[in-house]
Amino acid sequence: MPLISGLLPRFAGEQPFAGLLVAACLHVTAETAVLVRLLRAGGARVALAASNPLSTQDDIALALARDDGIEVFARAGVDRPGYYRHIAAALGDGPDLVVDDGGDLVNTLHTSSSPLIRRALDRVRGGCESTTTGVIRLRRMAADGALAFPMIAANDTPAKRMLDNTHGTGQSVIDGILRATNTLLAGKTVVVAGFGACGAGIASGAAGLGARVIVTEVDPVRALDASLRGFRVLPMAAAALLGEVFVTATGSVGVVAAEHFDLMRDGAILANAGHFDAEIDVRALGAAAIVVHEGVRPHADAYEMPDGRRLLLLAEGRVVNLVAAEGHPAEVMDLAFGIVALSLAWLAVNSEKLSADVHAVPADIDAEAARLVLAAMGTEIDVLSPAQVSYLESWRIGS
Ligand SMILES: NC(=O)c1ccc[n+]([C@@H]2O[C@H](COP(=O)([O-])OP(=O)(O)OC[C@H]3O[C@@H](n4cnc5c(N)ncnc54)[C@H](O)[C@@H]3O)[C@@H](O)[C@H]2O)c1
C-alpha cells in the first residue's frame, strides 16, 4: 500500500491527530490494519469495530489489539446484538473523529438511547464515510436535519469510485463467486442488478471472462449506458428466466425477490455485492424452500424448492467479495483509505468551519491521492504548459 506507506513519515512528523480519539467501523482486514496504524502514527488513539459481522479477519483483530495498542471490538461470526454491542463499545469514550463504512456507527451515535452514547455524540467533531450506502443514509439524515456533525463523503471522489467501486468490486466480486462455486463463467448468462459504479465493474469483469451479461436497472441513463456498452438490458422478471448467475449491486432492497425465485432455473447462483444483505430477499428464499442444504461448499447454501430445483445462495446474501474472497486487493484499499486518512487529517483542522452536513472530499485531496498512486505505479503524466493554462483560462481566444 504505497500511498499509505508514503503518508506514514508525514503523519508521524505532523501528528495531525495528536490527542484525538478516532472511532472506526470498518471491515477488519489487513488493509484496514494498515490504515489504523497510519492513524495511530499520526497521534490518534483508535477504537475499531467491524462494519460487517462476517468479514472480520480474527488474526488481524488480534494483532491490532496485541501489537499496536488498538482497542478492537470485532470477532468473525458475531451475532447481531454482539455486532451492535461492539460498535457501542468503540464509541464508549466519545470519539473526536469517526470513520464509518455503511453508516452503522453514525446511525448508532444518533439513535441510541444509552446516556453514554448520547454523551459520545456531543463530542464528535466530524468523520468520513467510505461507501455508497452510508453516504445515501447520511444525505437522508442531513435532509431531515438529524445529522449532528459534518461528514465527508470519502466514497464519492471520482478516483475512489473508479478504482474501488468499479475495478476493485468488479474483480473481487467475481473472485468471491469463483471461490465459492468454482464455476466457469465463460458462456454463462450473468445477470447484474444495478449498473452503477460497482455493477459496471462486475458486468465488464464477467464479460471479460466470456459470460453473456444481462443488466437490470431502474435509472434510464444508467440503463442506456449499459445498453451502449453492449449489455442486454431487461427487467428482473425477464432476466430471472435466463440467468445462471445473479449478482446484485444496487444499494436497494428486495431486488431479487420471491417472484423471481419461482422463475429461476435449477442451479442458479445468487450473490450480492451491495453493502447490506437486503438485496436478495433471503427470508423469502428460505420461506420458498422445502429444505436448505447448508454449506454445500464453503459460503454456499443450496435452497431446494418444492419442484426440486436448487438455488445456490452465496455468503448468506452478504457482500460476496468480503465473505467468500478477501475483499478488494490492497492497491484499491490503498487509494480508498489514503483518501480517508487525508480527509480525516483535513477535518481535524477544519471541522469547525463545516456545517453538520455531508461534504465532498476537497478536490485537491482526490488529485493528490491519484498522483501518489500514479507515482507508486511509476506512471508519469503531462503537465499543462503556461500557454495551455492561459488558453484554457481565456474566453477571448476563438476558434
Ligand atoms: N462489495 C463491495 O466491495 C462494495 C464496494 C463499494 C460499494 N459497495 C456497495 O454496492 C452498492 C452499489 O454501490 P455503487 O457505488 O455501485 O452505487 P451506484 O449508486 O453507483 O449504483 C447503484 C445502481 O443501482 C441501480 N438500482 C437501484 N435500485 C435498483 C433496482 N431495484 N434494480 C436495478 N437497479 C437498481 C441504481 O439506479 C444505480 O444505477 C452499495 O450498497 C455500495 O455500498 C460494495
**What is the pLDDT, as a whole number, of residue 399?**
65
For position 216, what pLDDT does the model report? Answer: 98
* pLDDT value at residue 181: 98
**CB-based burial label for 399 (10 Å; 0-12, 13-18, 19+):** exposed
27: cell is: 471491515
Tell me the average confidence (pLDDT) per consecutive run of 10 residues in the chain, 399 residues long. 94 97 95 96 96 89 95 94 95 93 95 92 95 93 97 93 93 98 98 97 98 98 98 98 98 97 98 95 97 97 98 97 90 93 96 96 93 91 95 82
Q: Whose CA is nearest to atom 39 of ligand 1?
A: 196
The pLDDT value recorded for residue 389 is: 95
- pTM for the model stands at 0.85
> What is the Cα Rg of the chain in Å?
22
- Residue ranges around ligand 1 (CB below 6 Å): 131-133, 164-165, 169, 193-199, 216-219, 222, 249-252, 255, 273-275, 319, 321
Hey, which of 101, 160, 275, 321 would you mutate to test ligand 1's pocket, going by the most ligand atoms within 8 Å of its Cβ?
275
Distances (CA, A) of 342 to 8, 127, 199: 11, 12, 27
Q: Pick the residue whose CA is nearest to atom 17 on ligand 1.
A: 196
Query: How many angstroms does the Cα of residue 200 sit away from the middle of ligand 1?
Result: 10
Helix (H), strand (E) counts: the chain: 18, 15
Q: Residues 56, 81: contact at Cβ < 8 Å?
A: no
**483518501: which residue's cell?**
339
Q: Determine contact, residues 347/127, Cβ cutoff 8 Å.
A: yes
